[in-house]
Amino acid sequence: DAEITQSPRHKITETGRQVTLACHQTWNHNNMFWYRQDLGHGLRLIHYSYGVQDTNKGEVSDGYSVSRSNTEDLPLTLESAASSQTSVYFCASSESLESYEQYFGPGTRLTVT
């Protein structure tokens, strides 16, 4: 069955370190998204991509970057982790530019100490 996976599921890192969260989908979806979920804020969009080599900034992109070298993967990199980036991160994908329904991964809980 097609799916979307995230790794690691849990990560503890230190302030200032570079961290990369992986997202892999097997639906062959063109669109991929990264969100963070924080108490009192719901889900906020970090970065998104509509296809290979395409990346765009979302609402809370400062301190994060993404790259899209193939259809299946959209890794999220925290260049220099900060305590404010402690959060739960969700990756999602959707089929096409006319599809609003997004499929979410199980999430990565990141703690920056």
From 12, 15, 28, 41, residue interacting with other proteins (rule: CB under 8 A): 41
Please give the residues from 53 up to 82 whose contact with other proteins meets the rule CB under 8 A: 56, 58
If one asks whether residue 85 binds other proteins (CB under 8 A), the answer comes out as: no
| Interacting span for other proteins (CB under 8 A) from 12-20, 60-68, 74-82, 95-103 | 95-103
From 11, 13, 27, 50, residue interacting with other proteins (rule: CB under 8 A): 50
Residue 62 CB partners (closer than 8 Å, separation 6+): none
Distance set, CA 30 to CA 22, 55, 59, 71, 76 (Å): 17, 12, 20, 6, 17
Q: In whole angstroms, give the CA distance from residue 75 to residue 58.
A: 15
Binding site for other proteins (CB under 8 A): 4, 31, 33, 35, 40-45, 48, 50, 56, 58, 90, 92, 94, 97-107
